[in-house]
Amino acid sequence: MNSLRLKKREDKRIQSGHGWVFSNEIDTRQTPLKGLEPGSPVTVETVNGKFLAHAYVNPHSLISCRVTSRRANEPFNATVLRARLQYALELRNYRFKEPYYRWVHSEGDFLPGLTVDRYGSTLVVQITTAGMECFRDEIVDVLQALAGATAIYLRNDAKVRELEHLPSYREWVVGKPVDVLDIVENNLQFRVPTEIGQKTGWFYDHRESRNTITRWVSGKKVLDLYTYLGAFGLNAASAGASSVLAIDASESAVTAANENAKLNKLDNIFTAQTSDAVEAMRALYSEKEHFDVVILDPPAFIKKRKDRDAGMRHYGLNNRLAMRLLNPGGIILSASCSQALSHEDLLQQMRLGTPKGCLGLQLLSTLRQGADHPVHASMPETLYLTGAIGRVV
C-alpha cells in the first residue's frame, strides 16, 4: 500500500476527524501523487511519517484522498464495507417503520462516495468516486444480502463522476428494470417514474419538513413552487388545505405529480401546472392572486463557490417574489439544498424579501435534512439542507 505524507501543519483537520485530504496538502516531493491508480488504497501520514488514516486516492481530483478508516490495523475492505452498511441499516430500522428511506448518506455514514436510497425491495445506488467504484460488485452483493433486494439500479450518471474521471452510466444489476418506484411517506403514496427521477429519484431529505408544514395549512390556500412530484403540496392537501396550486418547469414531473394526486384521491384539491417558477410568481402577482401559504423549495442555485454571488441573487429574488404573493399573516416555507448557503444566509434572503410596510418576519420553525441523512460532526459539508418556516406580518 502506498503512503502519502502531508505537509507540515496540514494534518490538523484530519486529526480533528475530517475525511478529505486536498491535493495541495500533500508533500508530493516525498510522496508523489502522479502515477497512483485512481481508487487505490493509501495510508495518510504526518510529515514525520506517523499514521493518520487509511484512505483511497484519486490524483485527478482536488479531493485527492477520502478517509476510509482511522485504525492502522483496519484498512477498508469487503468486511469493513459490510459492517458499515449494516450499521447504516440498523440506524434506519430504529427510526423508520417502513422501508422507504436513504440507506447510505456517503460521508455521513462513513462510506464516502456512496449513496443508497431504498424503495421497499428496490434499491437505487449512486457511486461518485473511483475508490467506491472499485467496490461496486461487493456493494451490490452486500446490499442484496442485507435487504433481500429484488432489484438494484446503479444510477451512476452524476456530473461529479467527471471530476473523478469515471464513466457515466445507468444499469440494472439485480432483477428486472422497474418503471416506477413506489413510496409511502407520511401516510401518503407516491410513484416515481424511474427514468425521470432526479438524482436517486426521491428527495427523502425533506420528509420531516413536509410533515412540519402540515401544522400550518388547514383550511389554507397553498402555492407549492418547484413541486417536482408533488410531495410538499400533497402533504399539505392531505392535511386539510383548501386548495393547492403546484408549479414545476418539467412537464413530465407535473404529469407524475398530478398522477400522485389521483393516487391519493386529492386531485380535487391539488393541481400541478408546468411553468418556470419565477415567471409563474410574476404572472400570479400581476393577476392579483394571493395565497395563505407559499412553499419555496428550489434546486441548488449554488453548486460551486464561483456560483455564490449569482446564487444568492436567485435565492433573494425567489423569496421576494414568493412573499409578495402572501395574504396578510401568511406563512412561507423557504428552503435551500445548496451546501454553500448557510442557514443565516437563507434567513438574510428571507428578511430582505419581506415586503415593504410589513412589521416583519416571524420565524416559526427551523428545517434541516431528515434523520436518514446523518451529519458527520467533523464535516460541515455533510449538512447541506436548511430551511425555515416564517410568518409575514
Phi, psi (degrees; rounded to nearest 5) at 17: 115, -5
Q: What was the pLDDT predicted at 217?
A: 98
d(CA 163, CA 145): 31
d(CA 289, CA 281): 9
Count CB atoms within 10 A of the CB of residue 393. Answer: 12
Cβ atoms of residues 151 and 181 within 8 Å: no
Query: Which residues have a Cβ under 8 Å from the Cβ of 385 and sit 6 or more positions away?
Result: 205, 206, 335, 336, 337, 367, 368, 369, 373
Cell 428545517 locates to 367
> What are the pLDDT tens digits along the chain (393 aa)?
899 999 999 999 999 999 999 999 999 999 999 989 999 999 999 999 999 999 999 999 999 999 999 999 999 999 999 999 999 999 999 999 999 999 999 999 999 999 999 999 999 999 999 999 999 999 999 999 999 999 999 999 988 899 899 999 999 999 999 999 999 999 999 999 988 766 778 999 999 999 999 999 999 999 999 999 999 999 999 999 999 999 999 999 999 999 999 999 999 999 999 999 999 999 999 999 999 999 999 999 998 878 898 999 999 999 999 999 999 999 999 999 999 999 999 999 999 999 999 999 999 999 999 999 999 999 999 999 999 999 999
Q: What was the pLDDT predicted at 197?
A: 61
Cβ atoms of residues 229 and 190 within 8 Å: yes
CA separation, residue 11 to residues 2, 59, 382 (Å): 18, 19, 20
Q: What was the pLDDT predicted at 305?
A: 79
Give the residue numbers annotated as catalytic, written as ranges.
337
Q: What was the pLDDT predicted at 303?
A: 85
Q: Global pTM? A: 0.94
The upper half-sphere exposure of residue 196, i.e. CA atoms within 13 Å in the direction of its Cβ, equals 14
Element (H, E) at 79: helix 78-95
End-to-end CA distance of the chain: 63
d(CA 216, CA 220): 8
Fold classified for 186-392: Rossmann fold (3.40.50)
Cβ atoms of residues 272 and 248 within 8 Å: yes
CA angle 127, 166, 68 (to 5 degrees): 50
The helix/strand/coil state of 145 is: helix
* CA quadruple 118, 124, 125, 126: dihedral, nearest 10: -120
Which CATH superfamily is 2-69 part of? PUA domain (2.30.130.10)
d(CA 41, CA 80): 14
For the chain, the domains span 2-69, 78-178, 186-392
Q: Domain 78-178: which CATH class? A: alpha beta
Residue 161's nearest CA partner among 138, 127, 115, 131 is 127
Cβ atoms of residues 248 and 227 within 8 Å: yes
Q: What was the pLDDT predicted at 376?
A: 97
